[in-house]
Amino acid sequence: MTGTVGIALAAGLLSALMFLSLSEGLAIGLLLTYLAPLPLLMAGLARGLAMAGLAGVMAMLAITLVSGGLAALPFALAVVVPVTVIVRQALLWRSDSSGAVEWYPPGLLLGWLTGMAVTLIGLGAALVSGEAGLGGGGLEGWIAASVGHGLDLLAPTLDASQRQAVAAGWVPLFLALVGGSWLVMILINTILAQGLLARWGHNRRPTPVYVRELDLPTWLGGLLVAAAAAGALAEGDLAYLGRNVAAVTLVPFALSGLAAVHLWVAGRPNARMLLVAVYGVVFLASAWVLLPIAGLGLVRFVTRFRPTGDSGGGKEK
């Protein structure tokens, strides 16, 4: 019991320190904040759901003691809740008819995380809806004003035309940028935690072969169609939310498209160089390059449906 509390305390304090490092002005504060879920994920994926929950509570108490008030609330929503869901789902398993162990598919786990990203977008929109309505410009107008104020504080050297250009690029999909960044952050930390645990021999489940097992749940396709339809056909706040939800929902399809690229490249001459070229284009070019990759993921998603006699995988009963 003492060892369990000690591990939870260490993981929680380290996570809290990482989360608070940005506000303390550390040079690498942004990177440390980005990695705040890592200690909790490692504790949970190695020791189970109870450990993840205990470490999360420890971290929240530490943040409350240091910053006071409701400072732990964003940490709970952005880190503790998704970590708890990831650990619970990732450690689910069952035996098939031959006695072999089947672990929870990573595609379904990605669906859970995408659903949480969409939920966070909805909660954020609901929280500011009153102020947005009072401003007269709706949700998008409120975000435009907030981004403008932020640029005034963070980039005072930009002239008015430059600030307007930056805002014009951010505002239409600002909620998607926030939600998508959060989703990618959680995914990177999860993959990193599992990889480190496997390397050190403390992992509970085998590391998935992500490129082969990334079979997305069916409901993601329905969510994408509904959000895109709302963005194209509705007006006002509903259209704005629809566009942003559709953009976030494209993230798992983009990852599925990258997985398809990996499968295509595997076994070919100069496979590593081909992958370096693909990721170089993704990271160096405009974010719009992710659209054709997401399109490839959509093709993979649609064509994966087979007669019921095929095992398929990736569908949650």
Report the pLDDT value the prediction gives residue 311, as an integer from 0 to 100. 43
Report the pLDDT value the prediction gives residue 30, as an integer from 0 to 100. 76
User: Which residue ranges of the chain lie beneath pLDDT 50?
Assistant: 26, 308-317
Q: Per-residue pLDDT tens for 76-125? A: 999 999 999 999 999 999 988 888 899 999 999 999 999 999 999 998 88
% of residues, the chain, pLDDT over 70: 90
Residue 137 sits at φ, ψ, to 5 deg, of -100, 5
Report the pLDDT value the prediction gives residue 1, as an integer from 0 to 100. 58
pTM for this predicted structure: 0.88
Helical spans, DSSP H, in 171-308: 174-200, 210-213, 218-233, 236-265, 271-284, 290-303
What does the block give as tokens for 239? 């259209």
Q: Are 215 and 81 in contact (CB under 8 A)?
A: no
Report the pLDDT value the prediction gives residue 286, as an integer from 0 to 100. 63
Report the pLDDT value the prediction gives residue 133, as an integer from 0 to 100. 60
> Residue 103: beta bridge partners?
93
Q: Write the CB contacts of 146 (distance below 8 Å, at least 6 apart in sequence).
A: none
